[in-house]
Amino acid sequence: MSENSKNSEEKKSNIEEIIIPSEKAMMQLGGKIAKQFPKGGIVLLKGDLGAGKTTLVRGLLRSLGFEGTVKSPTYTLVEPYQVNDRRIYHFDLYRLGDPEELEYMGGRDYWDSDALCLIEWPEKALAYLPEADLQLTILYKGEQRRVLIKS
């Protein structure tokens, strides 16, 4: 196998698994993701209710210097943040009725920009979402969390 095709194979299915022992560690993981995507990107956050998706987004925003409140935009579906020169959109699609609603919301305008889009509950509208740059699946492991990171 050539070096090139080997690399693209790796890109397709690179899954890393890490243990996140605390809320603080989940916030730190958010900080790492902020560093990984200085020019924006699409990050899908999967995991049951209370798994830690919003906690990760909070950590990401804190790492960039945002000091305000960060809570899941459950009813508004999306919350925009401007932190210094960075645009961040935090989606929570849990209450999305019909996936087509995303089109009416102008979803495309969000991901066609240079923003970093963090999307909780992407399962609610997978067909309407762009290809992810990173997908995290957060699983309960007692008091801890197991995080599968697919890039």
Ligand X SMILES: Nc1ncnc2c1ncn2[C@@H]1O[C@H](COP(=O)(O)OP(=O)(O)OP(=O)(O)O)[C@@H](O)[C@H]1O
Q: Which residues bind ligand X (CB under 6 A)?
A: 20-23, 26, 47, 49-55, 72, 92, 120, 143-145
For the CB of residue 58, give the shortest distance to ligand X in the complex, in Å. Answer: 7
Residue 54 touches Mg ion, criterion: CB under 5 A: yes
CA distance 27 to 54: 9
Dihedral of the alpha carbons of 13, 45, 115, 15, in degrees to the nearest 10: -20
Q: Rounded to 10 degrees, what is the CA torsion of 120, 106, 130, 140?
A: 0
Q: CB of 91: closest distance to ligand X in angstroms?
A: 11
CB-closest chain residue to ligand X: 52
Quote the least distance from Cβ 144 to ligand X, whole Å: 5
- What is the distance, to the nearest Å, from the Cα of residue 9 to the centroid of all Cα atoms in its chain? 23
The item of ligand X, Mg ion, none sharing an interface with residue 51, based on CB under 5 to 8 Å by kind, is: ligand X
Strand ranges across the sheet with 78-83 = 15-20, 144-150, 134-141, 41-47, 116-120, 86-92, 78-83
The interface partner of residue 30, options being ligand X, Mg ion, none and the CB cut-off 5 to 8 Å by kind, is none
CB of 2 to ligand X, least distance (A): 41
The single-letter code of the amino acid at 69 is T
- One-character DSSP codes across 24-49: HHHHHHHHHHHHH-TT-EEEEEEEST
Is residue 55 a contact point for Mg ion (CB under 5 A)?
Answer: no
Cβ closer to ligand X: 6 or 24? Answer: 24
What part of residues 71-130 is at the interface with Mg ion (CB under 5 A)?
A: 72, 120
* Nearest CA among 11, 143, 131 for reference residue 119: 131
Instruction: Decide whether 56 or 115 has the Cβ nearer to ligand X.
Output: 56
User: Site residues (CB under 5 A) for Mg ion?
Assistant: 53-54, 72, 120
